[in-house]
Structure 1
Amino acid sequence: MSDDETDRERDRALIEKEAVAWFTRTGGRPTRVERRDFAAWLEMSPEHARAYEDVSALWADLDATAHSLGEDGEELAGPLRKIADYRRARRRAKASGIVAGCLAVLAVSGWLWIDSPNLLQNLGADHVTDRAERRVVALADGSTVLMDADSALETEFSDRERRIRLLRGSAFFDVNPSPVPFVVEAAGGEARVLGTEFDVTLTGGRDVTVTLARGSLEVGLEGAARQVRLSPGERVEYGRAGLGAVQAVDLEESTAWHEGRLIFDDARLADVLAQIGRYREGRIVLLGSEVGERRVSGNISLENSEAALTAMQATVGFHMTRLGRRITLIGP
């Protein structure tokens, strides 16, 4: 095989993998930015659209049997036969083999969303933390970021602006003083400072909480004139309901995650479980919204997620069912 043919095969393999990642992400609840990026990816090349159509067609064919997959390898016989049939019918053994291989992995692991729901987002991020990992990142301007578990962000620095995009999770910023503004963007809003320490938490892809520990901070929505100025020990929330009112907070409570603890008072159970989920493999799935809306208070360690879940169960009294090692169902 010539070098050109090798390069083409490598490019085709990359496109197939990107198509699988896009198919997985768009099948969930993609953000407005992700939908825009997906449309741009499709328009880049006809090969992108063809690869995505191949993935969609194969997964539609597998869908009828994929839900029955378990840990027993014999249960894979049906899907694997369908993959083989599809490969022969399409007469694209190599390209289809890549797609089929990726989708077989999805089936065996019980859908990609269990283990890598943010795969595509991670590929575009500059800094990413794994589940159960907290890490300090040194930025080019001398500032530092403490990233919570399962978080991701992008950086874009210039002579006029230091901009961070929080893609998911939580991050604590210790900003090096400079005449150049430091801006943290998340879900349609932004916090703008010159030098300070503050937390930004993105929940559910849309709702953001900004908490100030030191200095001063202005927070506003993109394209809106109204802004609020925070003082140390204050926070503001924004999201689908717009920009909220400034509230006083207990900094020890709100920044407890820096030390691997979660302190909460009259919090939604769904929010607490989401934070615990950042520190464990697999998924915590709430069965119905009623249980998730229960209000809870507590002080738990995030270093042992199983103990944290058991403590919450003892406090709240919900039912907990484990499906293998990867999925935990929480119900009333």
Structure 2
Amino acid sequence: MTRDLQPLGMPVSSSGSSNAGVSDARTHARARRLRAEAAVWVVRIDAGRATRDDARLVRWCARSAEHQAAFDAASTQWQHADTLRAQPAVVAAPSAPSPNRRPRFSFTFTAPRAAFACAFAAAGIGLALYLHAPDFTTSAGEVRTVALDDGSTMRLDADSAVDVRYDEHERRVVLERGRAAFDVKHGDARRFVAQAAAGEIVDIGTAFQASLPDRGDAALVTVTQGRVAVRNSAGSVEAAAGQSVQYSDAAHAPNTVIVDTFAATAWQRGRIVFTDASLADVATVLNRYWKGHFIYVRGSAAALRVSGNFAIDAPGQALATLAETLSLRSTRIANRVVILSAQDPTDGQ
């Protein structure tokens, strides 16, 4: 017999005043969050990573009057800090910027700006973190398609992150984590560059995907249409549709490798395809798509070879099929952690 238990430390409200307290706390928390998000937008604009007519900022401000008010207040404070920049600096100030270019944000602060930035940090912003936070992310089990500002399309695999850095000269996207596929819009004079680890993929009229490794240190680029140039500081190579390029670090030039393109791009069609992969690698991939769960392969079972075609939205079903087909012992802990091991009880860890 089971029963629901009241979690320890969770008070049971017995009066209207308690509810009012909770409501006030939520209101204050929302206000703090809006101030922090507004501050991030102001810093991004000052750093040259966004503009006031950025579509994402416009949508954010349009969510409510509170959003717009928070942005206006943050802008006013930041502009006020700008007017005081002639004050003595805490450390040596950077060289004067060109009169034709708006000063970019720097961590070498004058006293007023330092105080303002510290106020942001005290509000829980974490200024440096936000400046480098990816623009688009996906969590485990989430695959999403993003329409970029130039009309290009980007598809993010689960547990991935991408930063978009478009300017007047170049369309650059930085793959911070996971895997992304790009269908590049042509007719734009700016070149399109995808940066992944120690290399760059330059579009030559194409659709391609780039992935950072789950394990190891090799990045992989697979071309599905047109051509790309893949390069790093050690060299470069061009690849056409159906070809793949791999590079490990800046000390080794990219090289063309043989990859099953159908299997490599299956995630874009909602499938996971394995061809003679180790069970350990299969588990790593399934963990990407199974939100809130973790699969661990124990002992000799990790080296078992697997080939199969599974739906990315049904990792639990894929796991059950693998356990049955390979005659594995499946042990669950709190219905979240799944341990796969060989049936032999003497199998070591």
Taking structure 1 as the reference length, the TM-score comes to 0.59
Q: Check if 1:239 corresponds to 2:251.
A: no
Alpha-carbon displacement from aligned partner over 1:26-46 (angstroms, at most 9, x marks no partner)? xxxxxxxxxxxxxx9xxxx9x
CA 1:330/1:300 → structure 2, altered by over 3 Å: closer, same or farther?
same
Aligned to 1:112: none
Aligned to 1:259: 269
Aligned to 1:176: 185
Aligned to 2:147: 138
Q: Check if 1:294 corresponds to 2:304.
A: yes
Indicate the SS of the match to 2:309: strand
Q: Check if 1:216 corresponds to 2:243.
A: no
Q: Check if 1:279 corresponds to 2:285.
A: no
CA RMSD of aligned residues (A): 3.7
CA 1:10/1:145 → structure 2, altered by over 3 Å: closer, same or farther?
closer
* Structure 2 portions without partners, runs of 5+: 1-27, 37-106, 108-113, 115-122, 343-349
Query: Is the CA contact 2:296–2:337 (under 8 Å) kept in the aligned structure 1?
Result: no
Aligned to 1:199: 209
Cα distance, 1:308 vs. partner? Answer: 0.8
Cα distance, 1:10 vs. partner? Answer: 5.7
Structure 2 letter corresponding to 1:255: T
Structure with greater Cα Rg? 2
CA 1:270/1:143 → structure 2, altered by over 3 Å: closer, same or farther?
same
Query: Is the CA contact 1:284–1:330 (under 8 Å) kept in the aligned structure 2?
Result: no
Structure 2 letter corresponding to 1:315: T
Tell me, in whole angstroms, the C-alpha distance in 2 between the residues paired with 1:290 and 1:168. Answer: 29
Indicate the SS of the match to 1:133: coil
Using CA pairs below 8 Å that are at least 6 residues apart, which structure has the higher relative contact order?
A: 1
Cα distance, 1:132 vs. partner? Answer: 2.1
Cα distance, 1:122 vs. partner? Answer: 12
Q: Check if 1:159 corresponds to 2:146.
A: no
Aligned to 1:148: 157
Alpha-carbon displacement from aligned partner over 1:48-87 (angstroms, at most 9, x marks no partner)? xxxxxxxxxxxxxxxxxxxxxxxxxxxxxxxxxxxxxxxx
Query: Is the CA contact 1:262–1:302 (under 8 Å) kept in the aligned structure 2?
Result: yes
Alpha-carbon displacement from aligned partner over 1:265-296 (angstroms, at most 9, x marks no partner)? 12232332222112212342435575434332
Tell me, in whole angstroms, the C-alpha distance in 1 between the residues paired with 2:131 and 2:331. Answer: 30
Q: Percent identity?
A: 35
Query: Is the CA contact 1:264–1:296 (under 8 Å) kept in the aligned structure 2?
Result: yes
Aligned to 1:129: 138
Cα distance, 1:156 vs. partner? Answer: 0.2
Q: Check if 1:309 corresponds to 2:319.
A: yes
Structure 1 letter corresponding to 2:316: E
Taking structure 2 as the reference length, the TM-score comes to 0.56
* Structure 1 portions without partners, runs of 5+: 1-5, 15-39, 46-94, 99-119
Tell me, in whole angstroms, the C-alpha distance in 1 between the residues paired with 2:130 and 2:246. Answer: 24
Aligned to 1:324: 334
Tell me, in whole angstroms, the C-alpha distance in 1 between the residues paired with 2:32 and 2:245. Answer: 48
Higher helix share: 1
Cα distance, 1:175 vs. partner? Answer: 0.5
